[in-house]
Structure formats: C-alpha cells, structure tokens
Amino acid sequence: MHTPTSGEQDLAPIDHIHAAETGQGRRQALADWWRDNPTALFLRDNWLLGALALAALAVLGVVLWGIWALVTTLIDGLDAGLDAAGAWIIGGPITHSISDPVRAYLDGHTAGLPATGRDLWITWLIALSALYLGALLGSTYARIGWAAIGALSTAAVYLGAPAGTGPAAAGLTIAVWLTLSLPAYAGLSRLSVGDILDSLSDRRARRAVADSTY
C-alpha cells in the first residue's frame, strides 16, 4: 500500500486551490461579461421587450400556420370540386343523354359507307369544336355553322334516342345548345378574325413607317 510522502501531502491542497481559483475565475469572467457586454446590457434592460417579441413571433407563427392550413383546405376542396364537375360534364348523365343518341344514330345509318359510325362521330366532334371556337371569335360563317350543326345534332338526338325518349332528349339538347350559344351570339366577342388581321396589317404598316423615319 502506497503511503503519501510529505511532499505529495503538501501538493494536494495546492491542486485544490488551483481548481477553486480556476472555477472562481470563470464565474467572475461570466459575471463581468453579463455586467459590461453591450448585448448583455441590452438583454437585461429590454427583457420585457424581448419576451413580447417572442410572444408576437409565436402568435404570428400560429396565424401563418392557420392561414396555410385554410388555403390548403380550400385548394384541395376546389380541386376536388373541379374534378367532380369535369367528370360530371364529360361523363355525366346530361352529356350521355345527348351523345349516346347521336352515336346510336350514326352507328345505325352508316351501313354500306366506307366511314364507320365512329369516324363520323370524330368528324362531328371536330366540326363542332371548330365552329364553336370560330363563333366565339366572331366569325359570321362559324356562327351560321354552329346554328346549323346544332339543328342537325338535335335531329340526330331525337331519332337516335330510345323509343319514347326522343322529345325529352331533343329538348335537353336544345337547352344545352342555347346555353352554349350565349357567348357566341351575345356580342361578347366583338372582335372578329377580320378585325384581328386588319389590326396586324395596320401594326406592320405603322412599324414600317416608323422604321423609314430613322
């Protein structure tokens, strides 16, 4: 068993003294920093303002989170509503009540023709879309064609609908057609294709005159 010598016994208290002085020095340095440092002085003198700022930031965070949650919910609901509306318009009962009789009429009256009922159906859709777009742009020819294809479609719906449902299907077709015709015939599109071409020609002429002056 090792017995401390007199020299080792004398060094032990010195080590404790150095450790105590080191700890006391650190505490003193921290106290001096807290007393003299500008940041510490600002925090000590304005602690209430800092607490209020933290509380305001917390409230702002909660408010922003609530707004984000509300906007996300509204977007999700709007997206679901648009999807449901699109599915109802494209594949809903109203659309099928008009398109199915037209398909049945075309399929039943294309025997012996090189084109099938499906070919005529695709042609009908292309013509329908082109005439409606032209009517929206103000084309007189397209507006006349839109009225003509509407009458032909109503007749096809009446003849191709199941027995006893022709008048109802034709009436539904007329109602939908008149609703779709409002933008084309109500004067909302006063700018015709000819006006657009004339405007482009006038713009090129003005640009040419401007270039010639330099």
Tokens of 57: 């930031």
Tokens of 172: 């539904």
Side-chain-facing half-sphere of 82: CA atoms under 13 Å: 6
For residue 111, what is the DSSP state? T
- pLDDT at residue 147 is higher than 70: yes
Amino acid present at 164: G
Query: What integer pLDDT is reported at residue 64 of this predicted model?
Result: 80
Average pLDDT of the chain? Answer: 76
What pTM does this model have?
0.52
One-letter-per-residue 3-state SS of 121-181 = HHHHHHHHHHHHHHHHCCCHHHHHHHHHHHHHHHHHHHHHCCCCCHHHHHHHHHHHHHHHH
Ranges 51-65, 87-101, 108-122, 181-195, most confident: 108-122
- Give tens-digit pLDDT for 54-66: 888 888 888 888 7
Tell me which of 2-11, 44-53, 129-138 is least confident: 2-11
66-75 burial code (b ≥16 CB/10 A, e <16): eeeeeeeeee
Q: Which three-class secondary structure state does DSSP give residue 1?
A: coil
